[in-house]
C-alpha cells in the first residue's frame, strides 16, 4: 500500500471520534497517561476503526489507567469485548470492537513502536497540552528484561481469532519481531530438552531392569550340528 500524500491524506479531530473513544482518551489523561496517540485504521485493518495508544510510568500506573478507562466506559454501557496483558500490566490491550486501546509501560511502547509500524495510518489531531504529550520523565525508564508477549497478529494488535485463514497467506514469509523469534526458539529448545530428558529417563529405566537370560551360543544349533562343523 502506498503512503497517501500530505495533500490527500485525511485529517481527523476529536469531533470525528466515537463518543466512547473520547471518553477513553479523557479517562486515560485524567489518570496522567502520557503521549496519547489515536490512529485511524479503517482502510488498513479488518478488525477495528481506531486505535488509542498511551504510556504509563509503571505497571501500577498502567493498571490504574486501564481500570479507569474500563470503569468509565462501563458507566456508559460500553463493555470491552476482550482484554489482554492484565497479568503484568506492561502492555494492556482493551478491545471495544470499533476501537482498541493499548496502555503501555512506556519503555515497552518504545520497544514495539506500533506507531512506526503503522505509519500509513492517519493520526487524529488531539491538540493536547505539552504536559500530556511530554515523555521526558519516562524516556529514562529501564526496558524490562522480560518483555511481554506480542499482543496479537504479526503486524499489529488484533486478537488471533479475529483473523480468517486468508490472513495467514498474507503473513507468509513475514519476519517475527526479534523478541518473539527468540521466545519461539527458547520454547523449542525447552521442548527438545524435555523430550531428551524423558528419553534418557526411559533409557535408564530400561537399563535398570533385570537382564534377560540369553541362550548359550550352541543352544540354537540343531542336534549334532557341532559334529558336522568339526
Residues in the chain predicted with pLDDT less than 70, given as ranges, are: 1-9, 152-230
pLDDT at residue 186, rounded to an integer: 54
Task: Name the pairing type of β-strands 122-125 and 12-13.
Answer: parallel
Give CA–CA dist 82/63, Å, rounded.
16
Give CA–CA dist 88/107, Å, rounded.
14
pLDDT at residue 117, rounded to an integer: 86
**494488535: which residue's cell?**
157
Task: Decide: helix, strand or coil at residue 100.
Answer: strand
pLDDT at residue 3, rounded to an integer: 47
pLDDT at residue 131, rounded to an integer: 96
Amino acid at each position: 500500500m502506498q503512503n497517501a500524500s500530505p495533500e490527500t491524506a485525511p485529517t481527523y479531530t476529536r469531533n470525528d471520534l466515537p463518543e466512547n473513544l473520547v471518553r477513553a482518551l479523557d479517562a486515560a489523561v485524567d489518570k496522567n497517561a502520557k503521549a496519547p496517540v489515536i490512529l485511524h485504521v479503517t482502510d488498513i485493518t479488518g478488525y477495528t476503526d481506531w486505535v488509542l495508544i498511551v504510556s504509563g510510568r509503571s505497571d501500577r500506573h498502567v493498571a490504574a489507567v486501564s481500570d479507569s478507562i474500563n470503569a468509565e466506559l462501563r458507566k456508559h454501557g460500553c463493555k470491552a469485548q476482550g482484554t489482554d496483558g492484565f497479568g503484568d500490566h506492561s502492555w494492556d490491550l482493551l478491545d471495544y470492537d470499533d476501537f482498541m486501546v493499548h496502555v503501555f509501560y512506556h519503555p515497552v511502547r518504545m520497544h514495539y513502536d506500533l506507531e512506526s509500524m503503522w505509519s500509513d495510518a492517519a493520526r487524529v489531531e488531539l491538540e493536547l497540552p505539552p504536559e500530556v504529550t511530554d515523555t521526558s520523565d519516562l524516556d529514562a525508564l529501564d526496558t524490562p528484561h522480560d518483555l511481554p508477549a506480542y499482543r496479537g497478529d504479526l503486524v499489529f494488535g488484533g486478537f488471533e481469532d479475529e483473523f480468517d485463514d486468508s490472513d495467514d497467506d498474507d503473513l507468509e514469509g513475514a519476519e517475527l519481531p526479534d523478541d518473539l523469534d527468540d521466545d519461539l526458539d527458547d520454547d523449542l529448545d525447552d521442548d527438545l530438552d524435555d523430550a531428551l530428558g524423558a528419553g534418557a529417563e526411559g533409557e535408564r529405566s530400561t537399563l535398570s531392569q533385570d537382564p534377560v537370560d540369553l541362550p548359550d551360543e550352541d543352544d540354537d544349533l540343531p542336534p549334532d550340528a557341532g559334529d558336522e562343523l568339526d
